[in-house]
Amino acid sequence: MIVSLCSDAAAISELAASRVADLLRARPTAVLGLPTGRTPIQMYAELVRMHKEEGLDFSQATSFNLDEFVGIGPDHPGSYHAYMAEHLFNHVNLPAQRAHLLDGLASDLDAECDRYEVSIVDAGGLDLQILGIGANGHIGFNEPADGLSARTHRVALLPESREGNAVFFGGRVADVPREALSMGMGTILKARRILLLATGAGKRDAIEAAVRGPVTTRVPASFLQLHPSVEILCDNDAAAGLR
């Protein structure tokens, strides 16, 4: 596990985007695992800039998003479908049929999770999984619990995770769905490389526990210690517990 300290969120976003760009240039058919949330917004803006100004090409790439809310469709402004369209997919040349997201309106949600797992395998697996981290140590929506799911699954969101997402629902926590579909811990850990982005003092304890603490289902991100190729990009506030 490598922790790279960056001066601020802008530097993290530029470094993260350069990691993606380097991969796409070396392997144009790369399979990317993508996060949503506040943290990666600037990274996506930088990738869009690189596409427009430097010709960064997504035309042969494939992507799989980490998670999606249950009960809202792609047209809902709070959905991760809408987030990805706004921040990346509407602005780069990634073919829509290879930009995969879970369907939170699927009539059979378990079948939808199985379908997603198969699609990732069929695509050759994830070359690079990019992650944010919840203040409670979640990655994707693998919430702290007595046990974690290995595969893509349906999950009840903890109150703090719904609060963290209220910003995407006009600030109204009550409007944030209570459930989501999420890649599992095994799905994430099978990625060949993992890049985790963390900014701000609110992530300090989660980063400290993930990097220094024991591997425990109570801090899902601590399982990243078991992966052979993880880089964590932190600003000073998020890394403060590692000094």
Q: Which residue has the tokens 């049929």?
A: 97
Q: Among the candidate windows 30-38, 51-59, 107-115, 232-240, which touches ligand F6R by CB under 6 A?
A: 30-38
88 or 133: CB nearest ligand F6R: 133
62 or 129: CB nearest ligand F6R: 129
Binds ligand F6R (CB under 6 A): choice among 13, 36, 79, 129: 36
- In the sheet that holds 193-198, the strands lie side by side as 2-5, 230-234, 193-198, 128-131, 31-34, 62-65, 99-100
Binds ligand F6R (CB under 6 A): choice among 46, 67, 112, 127: 67
Q: Among the candidate windows 51-59, 99-107, 131-139, 211-219, which touches ligand F6R by CB under 6 A?
A: 131-139
CA distance 200 to 158: 21
CA distance 114 to 212: 33
State yes or no: residue 104 binds ligand F6R (CB under 6 A).
Answer: no
CA distance 173 to 170: 9
Q: Is 109 helix (H, G, I), strand (E, B) or coil?
A: helix
Helix (H) or strand (E) holding 20, with range, is helix 9-26
| Residue of this chain nearest to ligand F6R (CB atom) | 132
Binds ligand F6R (CB under 6 A): choice among 140, 177, 184, 241: 140
State yes or no: residue 35 binds ligand F6R (CB under 6 A).
Answer: yes
Residue 170's Cβ-count burial label (10 Å; 0-12, 13-18, 19+) is: exposed
Query: Residue 128 corresponds to which tokens in the numbers above?
Result: 């690079």
Catalytic residue among 51, 76, 138, 153: 138
Q: Among the candidate windows 6-14, 46-54, 132-140, 226-234, which touches ligand F6R by CB under 6 A?
A: 132-140
Catalytic residues: 67, 136, 138, 143
